Amino acid sequence: MTKATYTEQPVGSHGFVRLVDSMGDDAAICQAARVSYGEGTKSVNEDRGLIRYLMRHYHTTPFEMVEFKFHLKMPIFVARQWIRHRTASINEYSGRYSIMKDEFHFPELRHQSQLNKQGSGEDLDPDVARAWMADLDQHYSGTSDLYNAMIRSGVSKEQSRIVLPLATYTEFYWKIDLHNLLHFLRLRMDSHAQKEIRDFTQPIADVVQELCPWAWEAFEDYRLNAVQLSAMEWERIVAFVHGMAEEYSRSTYDILPADMTGKMTERELREFEEKFK
């Protein structure tokens, strides 16, 4: 592992992602899986195939055997989304115990999406965005003055903090196993996730890819870039493939996997063909 893995990766105005510690790697996944399967399949090459098999068939428990601990700093509105994932361990900076710092998030503003009621679309015109940044700056510094005045006059920290905006930075330790981390990444790297949380997922993905390259590859192939088709959608595709074959007097199995090359193993090709039966 390169030193870089443990280096603070900056995100946004004041945020960062930093790996603090980890336990296990691709080999640990295989080691745990083989307790179930007994002896056999042991070469390094077989490890990759085993990991892909486990990922493909939702044998998720071996991925729980790898653990990551990050130190994260992010705005509270992002942390509120983050903390909804209940399978992690968290120790967060306490605004009851400690003074909150003058650190606020300045976003790259986007228009409300017209298609997606909960999403955003195009970036604002740079001049308009700049004007808003001036407003935010004034708002943040006014809020900060109010907060600090309350603290100085002896109002409790736990109450003074309530004037602070959701853009205020917080930080926490976050420990999670690989299975649950990948599930988190699948949801939060998705284009429907808010851009401000997605910005934090890339440095985390980089760490996973470096420490568990095969698990990451399998995750990309079978989750992140995979497609879930409904019963009806799949029925349509199968009908279409069979229909084409019939219409043009060709064999289904000729048509379909003929140009399948590259990453798929023999076993994966066979499983694919079986889906059309």
Return the active site residues: 188
For residue 15, count other CB atoms closer than 10 A to its CB: 24
Site for its own copies in 62-101 (CB under 8 A): 62, 64-65, 67, 69, 71, 75-77, 80, 83-84, 86-87, 89-98
Q: How far is CA 72 from the centre of its chain?
A: 14
Q: Which is nearer to its own copies, 7 or 98 (CB)?
A: 98
- Residue of 5, 9, 41, 120 interacting with its own copies (CB under 8 A): 120
The piece of 3-11, 41-49, 138-146, 200-208 that touches its own copies (CB under 8 A) is 138-146
Q: Residues touching its own copies: how many (CB under 8 A)?
A: 120
Query: H or E segment at 160?
Result: helix 157-160
Binding mask 4-33 vs its own copies (x if CB under 8 A, - otherwise)?
A: ----------------xxxxx---x--xxx
**Which CB, 8 or 21, lies closer to its own copies?**
21
- The verdict on 249 binding its own copies (CB under 8 A) reads no
What is the C-alpha to C-alpha distance for residues 15 and 70, in angstroms, rounded to an integer?
13
Going edge to edge, which strands form the sheet with 169-177?
9-11, 15-23, 67-75, 169-177, 89-92
> Of these, 5, 49, 150, 210, which contacts its own copies (CB under 8 A)?
150
Residue type, 117: K
Tell me the one-letter amino acid at 36.
Answer: S
Identify the residue among 12, 47, 51, 171 touching its own copies (CB under 8 A): 171
Q: Which is nearer to its own copies, 102 or 268 (CB)?
A: 268
Q: How far apart are CA 248 and CA 238, in angstroms?
A: 16
Q: By CB under 8 A, is residue 202 in contact with its own copies?
A: no
Question: Shortest Cβ distance from residue 4 to its own copies (Å)?
Answer: 20
User: Quick count: other Cβ atoms within 10 Å of Cβ 202?
Assistant: 14
Distance of CA 138 to CAs 143, 166, 168, Å? 8, 15, 14
Residue 44 or residue 131: which is nearer to its own copies going by CB? 131
Give CA 76 to chain center in angstroms: 18
Round to whole Å and give the CA distance between 148 and 151: 5
**Does 220 interact with its own copies (rule: CB under 8 A)?**
yes
